[in-house]
């Protein structure tokens, strides 16, 4: 059974009731979650039930060895993750025999996280689990819980290999959510090749977070990166400190009566809060996207913007404004009017944020100068404002996370900036607004994140803030791609031989494989088994297939991807270990000169030593971020499928990619302004993967050349935008895929644009691109054409990871190139 319903709709209760009942009846339950944090959360909830017969325990990498025996022998509700099941529980199934014999139920929570390569591995781990259970005579019920997904039953069947019933109707009470699509303005700043620079999504998010906290709207800001989340929190705190400071120093006696107007009485508010209900599973009519704010006043330094009235009307200030949703606890609470120069509300009598929450302090101590016109209680309230914003991410210690969650629930924290660590079921309720800085990758994630807003059935606000990126640009200009669309199906491919092979070895090591087992692992199993025998990994005997090697078979599967030993991040002055980064991403995240954030502290990487596996960092406060750039070469190993596309042709096949990080780009933190490109000396990495590519014949190319287009630039621009748009069709991340374009490729002899999977063996993304090529390339063309820049910018054809420094690029040429390919394509079809 799979339950696929919205955030906070009661999924946990739905599986807990039968699960706990099973335990009381003498059975056992296995609970799987993608993260240790979520397991710890669940364990706390189970212990709060205070049922003595329920012996719940976590079994993960943090479980002390002396406790593990107790868990195996006595626990009847075991909480773990797929990694632990793969590496420890299944290989040592004999030690768990009494647990497996009584196993009644397997709960797979937050299972929408099991997609792509990771999901395919988990699918095979669950098949191994089923086989081990059968060995001990148990046939547990699989109960899956997922965020809203399209065709959840079909997904659940691919994940477990079992027939699955689905529960999708969500009867939980929910208020209306207003969704705003927000496009930050182009600024006067000039970036690479003179391109205009759009204000950053994080800068806009910090502004909005500041404004909402001043209006006492409890807000959660989702930011893509940990670094971004910390930047948003720090910026909003600094802005609130400025506000507190200026208010403390400004006489306001008597002004408070005129400074505020009723929330409903602001005629200048933009029509963003139309009160449309947005239940994600229902079709709704498209909402207008945020009117485009074109004023250059967004580029003035942040500090001077702080004193403008927040949430103001556009007649006074061209900053895009919206009216706040009704405050949840006091419907008549006044909102700031356009003429106010002081924005914080008078003390509402709520307790100030816990002075006892000392561990949440970010060190931005605020001193309020004495002022006769400000009463002590008011100044204390303003001085508290910066402490009402914090940042949250998965890497924090459990106690810190609990404190933050508690503070948010109680209202002593009004604004929290977070990565999607919070998306995974951690219990945060009582929010009024959600800011989403940058497209979260899927419509399912968007609705999941937006669903965090709205407490006790009240109205809520969710704002999607576009990043300087082709996909985000496309979405804020094409709301129909978001609204009235079903959420994505969850893509996974358990039959990928790169995934299946290692799990067949692991399964054979657990219990030798027989013919009867083959259907469990899917239709490609016989072929993959033959290959494994040929490679000498398995041995075929009359009784079946055996693992006879000394190594542990489970080491063959690297289920979270990555591979290679992690790089340790060490503070050079103290020798303190800050954390670790997996080897492939070390080239892009902790290269020499990279800005690295850790728990709110900013570091500069002094040296990346790949041989020693160490990145040495030192504390610093640079006002820029860094982006690694790579150059890529690609060669075609085999074209597996192809067909005509207009006058050209489209291919899907195997390629070898050689990537080398060659430099890094510095961009100013708040403005996004480009500060320069620094060279790096890192070794190339080779990847065998799959790609989709298209070619255009020489005759067509000659025609375009005669019209004066730069063909290399046109192909390059089309490649960048196509990479940006593929995530809309393939549920991947822009950073999961790469591309190469050339006017003349050695293997095809033609103008060619490649887009490839960034994972060894491929992950299904390029294949989706091949299947949806016409839609994908049409959206790519639209994204380029709908950007208002003249010759290309990061919102359309420039890429922050371009190893060629975004040179050459031809925006109009790219549109014509895609038109050539697509006009004939639609005529032909
Ligand atoms: Zn542009
Ligand atoms: Zn490029």
So what's the pLDDT on residue 628? Answer: 86
User: How many angstroms does the Cα of residue 737 sit away from the middle of ligand 2?
Assistant: 13
pLDDT(297) > 70 = no
Nearest ligand (C-alpha, residue 787): 1
pLDDT(625) > 70 = yes
Nearest ligand (C-alpha, residue 629): 2
User: How many angstroms does the Cα of residue 662 sit away from the middle of ligand 2?
Assistant: 13
Burial bucket for residue 53 (CB in 10 Å: 0-12, 13-18, 19+): exposed
User: How many angstroms does the Cα of residue 673 sit away from the middle of ligand 1?
Assistant: 15
Per residue in 388-426, pLDDT (tens digit) is 888 876 555 566 667 777 787 788 889 988 876 555 445
| Strand pairing class (141-146; 2-4) | parallel
So what's the pLDDT on residue 489? Answer: 67
So what's the pLDDT on residue 381? Answer: 65
Residue 485 preceded by cis peptide, ω within 30: no
Kind plus residue range of the DSSP H or E element containing 326: none
Q: Which residue has the higher pLDDT, 173 or 271?
A: 173
Q: Which residue has the higher pLDDT, 546 or 255?
A: 546
Report residue 525 as tokens.
Answer: 């199993």
Nearest ligand (C-alpha, residue 800): 2
User: How many angstroms does the Cα of residue 199 sit away from the middle of ligand 2?
Assistant: 22
Kind plus residue range of the DSSP H or E element containing 540: strand 539-541
Residue 183's nearest CA partner among 453, 576, 380, 469 is: 469
User: How many angstroms does the Cα of residue 450 sit away from the middle of ligand 1?
Assistant: 28
Contact present, 69 and 50 (Cβ < 8 Å): no
User: How many angstroms does the Cα of residue 793 sit away from the middle of ligand 1?
Assistant: 4
So what's the pLDDT on residue 189? Answer: 82
pLDDT(269) > 70 = no
pLDDT(656) > 50 = yes
Nearest ligand (C-alpha, residue 807): 2
Nearest ligand (C-alpha, residue 662): 2
pLDDT(679) > 60 = yes
Per residue in 365-390, pLDDT (tens digit) is 222 233 333 333 444 466 777 888 88
Pairwise CA distance, residues 312 & 542, whole Å: 79
Q: What percent of the chain has pLDDT over 90?
A: 41
Lowest mean pLDDT among 209-223, 272-286, 554-568, 743-757: 272-286
pLDDT(286) > 80 = no
Per residue in 758-808, pLDDT (tens digit) is 877 777 789 889 988 999 999 999 999 988 888 888 889 988 778 788 889
Angle at 165 between CA 484 and CA 6, to 5 degrees: 40
So what's the pLDDT on residue 275? Answer: 32
So what's the pLDDT on residue 157? Answer: 94
Per residue in 31-46, pLDDT (tens digit) is 999 877 788 888 988 9
Tell the residue number behind the tokens 């606890």, with chain if given: 329
User: How many angstroms does the Cα of residue 440 sit away from the middle of ligand 2?
Assistant: 23
* SS3 call for 536: coil
Per residue in 49-108, pLDDT (tens digit) is 999 999 999 998 888 988 999 999 999 999 999 999 999 999 999 999 999 999 999 999
pLDDT(354) > 70 = no
Segment 733-751 mean pLDDT? 86
Lowest mean pLDDT among 339-343, 727-731, 815-819: 339-343
Per residue in 442-476, pLDDT (tens digit) is 788 888 888 888 877 788 999 999 988 888 888 89
Segment 573-596 mean pLDDT? 82
Contact present, 616 and 570 (Cβ < 8 Å): yes
Nearest ligand (C-alpha, residue 718): 2
pLDDT(727) > 80 = yes
Q: Which residue has the higher pLDDT, 686 or 131?
A: 131
So what's the pLDDT on residue 422? Answer: 56
pLDDT band at 702 (very low <50, low <70, confident <90, very high): very high
User: How many angstroms does the Cα of residue 231 sit away from the middle of ligand 1?
Assistant: 25
Q: b/e for 782-795, b at 16 or more Cβ within 10 A?
A: bbbeebebeebbbb
User: How many angstroms does the Cα of residue 789 sit away from the middle of ligand 1?
Assistant: 4
Taking the alpha carbons of 294, 296, 299, 305 in that order, is the dihedral positive or negative? negative
Per residue in 121-169, pLDDT (tens digit) is 999 999 999 999 999 999 999 999 988 777 899 889 999 999 999 999 8
Contact present, 3 and 144 (Cβ < 8 Å): yes
pLDDT(501) > 50 = yes
Nearest ligand (C-alpha, residue 809): 2
Segment 645-651 mean pLDDT? 93
Report residue 571 as tokens.
Answer: 């503070």
Nearest ligand (C-alpha, residue 791): 1
pLDDT(731) > 80 = no
Residue 127's nearest CA partner among 79, 160, 163 is: 160
User: How many angstroms does the Cα of residue 824 sit away from the middle of ligand 2?
Assistant: 27
Nearest ligand (C-alpha, residue 722): 2
Q: Which residue has the higher pLDDT, 630 or 455?
A: 630
Dihedral angle over CA of 319, 178, 446, 106, nearest 10: 150
pLDDT(669) > 60 = yes
User: How many angstroms does the Cα of residue 807 sit away from the middle of ligand 2?
Assistant: 7
- DSSP letter at 359 equals G
pTM: 0.65
Mean pLDDT (the chain, rounded) = 78
Per residue in 14-25, pLDDT (tens digit) is 999 999 999 999
Residues with CB under 5 A from ligand 1 (ion): 787, 789, 793, 795-796
User: How many angstroms does the Cα of residue 739 sit away from the middle of ligand 1?
Assistant: 19
Residue 157's nearest CA partner among 144, 139, 170 is: 144
Query: Highest mean pLDDT range out of 35-39, 184-188, 272-276, 295-299?
Result: 184-188
pLDDT(828) > 60 = no
So what's the pLDDT on residue 132? Answer: 97
User: How many angstroms does the Cα of residue 546 sit away from the middle of ligand 1?
Assistant: 58
Report residue 799 as tokens.
Answer: 């890429």
Listing DSSP states for 192-241 in one string gives GGG-EEEPPHHHHHHHHHHHHHHTT--EEEEESSHHHHHHHHHHHHHHHH
Lowest mean pLDDT among 20-24, 282-286, 506-510: 282-286
Nearest ligand (C-alpha, residue 191): 1
So what's the pLDDT on residue 399? Answer: 66
Q: Which residue has the higher pLDDT, 811 or 329?
A: 811
So what's the pLDDT on residue 394? Answer: 55
Segment 344-372 mean pLDDT? 30
């Amino acid at each position: 059974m799979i339950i696929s319903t919205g955030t906070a709709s009661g999924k946990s209760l739905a599986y807990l009731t039968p699960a706990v009942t099973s335990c009381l009846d003498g059975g056992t339950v296995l609970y799987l979650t993608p993260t240790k944090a979520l397991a710890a959360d669940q364990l706390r909830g189970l212990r709060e039930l205070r049922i003595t017969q329920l012996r719940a325990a976590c079994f993960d990498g943090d479980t002390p060895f002396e406790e593990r025996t107790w868990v195996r022998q006595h626990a009847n509700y075991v909480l773990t993750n797929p990694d632990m099941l793969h590496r420890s529980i299944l290989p040592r199934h004999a030690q768990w025999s009494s647990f497996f014999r009584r196993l009644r139920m397997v709960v797979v929570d937050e299972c929408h996280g099991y997609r792509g390569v990771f999901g395919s591995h988990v699918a095979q781990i669950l098949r191994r689990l089923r086989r081990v259970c059968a060995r001990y005579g148990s046939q547990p019920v699989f109960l899956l819980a997922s965020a809203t997904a399209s065709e959840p039953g079909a997904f659940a069947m691919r994940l477990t290999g079992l027939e699955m019933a689905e529960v999708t109707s969500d009867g939980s009470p929910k208020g209306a959510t207003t969704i705003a699509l927000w496009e930050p303005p182009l600024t006067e700043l000039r970036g690479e090749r003179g391109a205009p620079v759009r204000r950053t999504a994080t800068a806009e998010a910090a502004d909005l977070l500041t404004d909402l906290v001043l209006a006492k709207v409890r807000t959660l800001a989702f930011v893509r990166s940990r670094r971004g989340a910390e930047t948003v929190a720090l910026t909003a705190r600094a802005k609130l400190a400025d506000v507190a400071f200026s208010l403390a120093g400004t006489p306001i006696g008597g002004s408070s009566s005129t400074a505020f107007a009723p929330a409903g009485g602001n005629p200048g508010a933009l029509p963003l809060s139309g009160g449309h209900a947005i239940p994600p599973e229902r079709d709704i009519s498209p909402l207008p996207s945020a009117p485009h704010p074109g004023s250059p006043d967004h580029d003035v330094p942040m500090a001077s913007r702080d004193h403008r009235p927040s949430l103001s009307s556009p007649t006074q200030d061209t900053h895009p404004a919206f009216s706040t949703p009704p405050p949840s606890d006091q419907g008549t609470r006044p909102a700031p009017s356009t003429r106010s120069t002081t924005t914080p509300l008078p003390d509402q009598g709520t307790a100030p944020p816990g002075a006892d929450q000392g561990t949440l302090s970010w060190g931005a101590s605020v001193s309020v100068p004495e002022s006769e016109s400000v009463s002590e209680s008011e100044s204390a309230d303003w001085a508290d404002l910066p402490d009402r914003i914090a940042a949250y991410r998965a890497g924090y210690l459990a106690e810190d996370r609990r404190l933050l969650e508690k503070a948010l629930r109680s209202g002593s924290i009004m604004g929290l900036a977070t990565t999607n660590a919070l998306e995974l079921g951690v219990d945060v309720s009582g929010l009024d607004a959600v800011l989403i800085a940058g497209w979260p990758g899927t419509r399912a994630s968007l609705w999941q994140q937006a669903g965090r807003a709205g407490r006790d059935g009240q109205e809520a606000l969710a704002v999607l803030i576009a990043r300087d990126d082709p996909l985000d640009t496309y979405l804020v200009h094409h709301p129909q791609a978001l609204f009235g669309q079903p959420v994505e199906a969850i893509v996974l491919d358990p039959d990928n031989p790169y995934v299946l092979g290692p799990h067949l070895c692991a399964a054979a090591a657990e219990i030798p494989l027989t013919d009867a087992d083959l259907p469990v692992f899917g239709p490609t199993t016989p072929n993959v088994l033959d290959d494994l025998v040929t490679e000498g990994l398995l041995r075929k005997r009359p009784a079946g297939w055996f693992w006879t090697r000394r190594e542990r078979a489970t080491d063959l599967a690297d289920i979270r991807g990555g591979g290679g030993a992690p790089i340790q991040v060490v503070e050079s002055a103290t020798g303190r270990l800050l954390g670790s980064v997996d080897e492939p991403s070390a080239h892009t995240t902790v290269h020499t000169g990279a800005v690295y954030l850790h728990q709110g502290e900013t570091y500069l990487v002094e040296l990346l030593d790949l041989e020693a596996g160490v990145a040495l960092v030192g504390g610093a406060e640079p006002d820029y971020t860094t982006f690694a750039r790579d150059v890529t070469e690609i060669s075609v190993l085999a074209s597996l499928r192809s067909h005509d596309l207009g006058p050209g042709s489209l291919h899907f096949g195997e390629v070898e990619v050689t990537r080398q990080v060659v430099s890094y780009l510095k961009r100013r933190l708040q403005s996004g302004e480009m500060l320069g490109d620094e060279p790096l000396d890192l070794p190339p990495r080779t990847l065998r993967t799959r790609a989709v590519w298209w070619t255009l014949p020489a005759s067509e190319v000659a025609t375009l050349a005669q019209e004066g287009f730069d063909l290399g630039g046109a192909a390059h621009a089309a490649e960048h935008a196509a990479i940006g748009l593929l995530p809309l069709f393939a549920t991947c991340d822009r950073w999961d895929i790469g591309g190469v374009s050339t006017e003349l490729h050695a293997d095809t002899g033609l103008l060619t644009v490649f887009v490839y999977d960034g994972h060894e063996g491929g992950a299904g993304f390029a294949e989706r691109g091949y299947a949806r090529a016409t839609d994908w390339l049409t959206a790519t063309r639209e994204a380029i054409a709908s950007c208002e820049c003249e010759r290309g910018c990061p919102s359309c054809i420039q890429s922050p990871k371009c190893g060629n420094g975004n040179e050459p690029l031809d925006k109009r040429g790219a549109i014509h190139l895609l038109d050539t390919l697509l006009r004939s394509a639609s005529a032909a079809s």
